[in-house]
Amino acid sequence: MKTIILTSTLLLLSTTMTTALAVCPAIGQVMGVATTQGNTTVRFKGLTSPGQTVTVSGLTLTALKKLDASQIATAFSSQQNGVQPTLISNLDYTFGTTTLSGWKAALAAGINLTFNPASPNTTPLEVSSNTAGLAPSITTVATPLNNGVALNILLSGNTVCVGSTGNWQAQEYHKTPSGATDNLIDFHHGNTSTTDPIAPVGSWSINSINNTVSYTYHGGSSYTNTVYDNGNGSYTFCDTNGNTTIVSAIKAGQVGC
């Protein structure tokens, strides 16, 4: 992946290593409102009266008294996909017969609680309340893809999209297998174009020891990246100099973005 230098005014495709204003995401850094199945942090709000509810992907807590946000986060903490909560009810709240669907909860940290997909390709995390203004807020967090198998599943045989509709900086098809010559192919303007057709632009390979993906482009420029799942359908490719490229989508097969 060529480094996309992020500035305050434009995206500039770079073929040399320079220092970007953007930095690699920290593990757990908030990346935006959750829209897909990435690790997702829920920030709870307190419930002020008995009978008020908060629901997270099918699991509904009903207040039996006034509850502060940290009590609610603790109640949802460590709940598992499809498993009835061990403590169904106490003097403060009840879960009834509801369970989490497609998600599992980590340990609460104050009023925040991270939920992780129970399996690949789960539906987006959903939150709600029966009382206006009391639904939790949700954000996605950056998670590194820290094994070669995960990187291969993400990239091999797929097209990486950098930019936006009408302004694609890269549409790079990652031909199988990783490590072969000229296995990185840019869609450009497609095979019907007489001036800028689909063409190899270099090669890509995965290092399963360092859990990185490397790119070598025609002309000699090379980049080694750690890949972060932003949890909202996008990915951050962070090279060894701390420069970042935001991948807006990864599409199956050899296609245009």
Query: What is the per-residue pLDDT across 163-210, written as a single tens digit (0 to 9) for each?
Result: 988 899 999 999 998 889 999 999 999 989 989 999 999 999 999 998
Instruction: Give the residue carrying structure tokens 């297998």.
Output: 177
CB distance 73 to 112 below 8 Å: yes
pLDDT for 121 beyond 50: no
Q: Which residues contact 45 (CB under 8 A, 6 or more apart)?
A: 54, 69, 111, 129, 133, 134, 135, 136, 137
pLDDT digits (tens, 9 = 90+) for 54-108: 999 999 999 999 999 999 999 999 999 999 998 888 999 999 899 999 899 988 8
CB distance 183 to 176 below 8 Å: yes
Residue 23 lies in a domain: no
Please check whether residues 36 and 136 belong to one and the same domain: yes
Report which DSSP code applies to 24: P
Query: Comparing C-alpha atoms, which of 113, 145, 119, 139 is closest to residue 227?
Result: 145
Domains in the chain: how many in total? 2
Residue 232 lies in a domain: yes
pLDDT for 12 beyond 70: no
Of 141, 158, 180, the one marking the end of a domain is 141
Both tokens assigned to 242: 């701390």
Of 90, 109, 141, the one marking the end of a domain is 141
Residue 186: which domain range? 145-252
Q: Which residues contact 103 (CB under 8 A, 6 or more apart)?
A: 40, 56, 57, 81, 115, 116, 117, 118, 122, 125
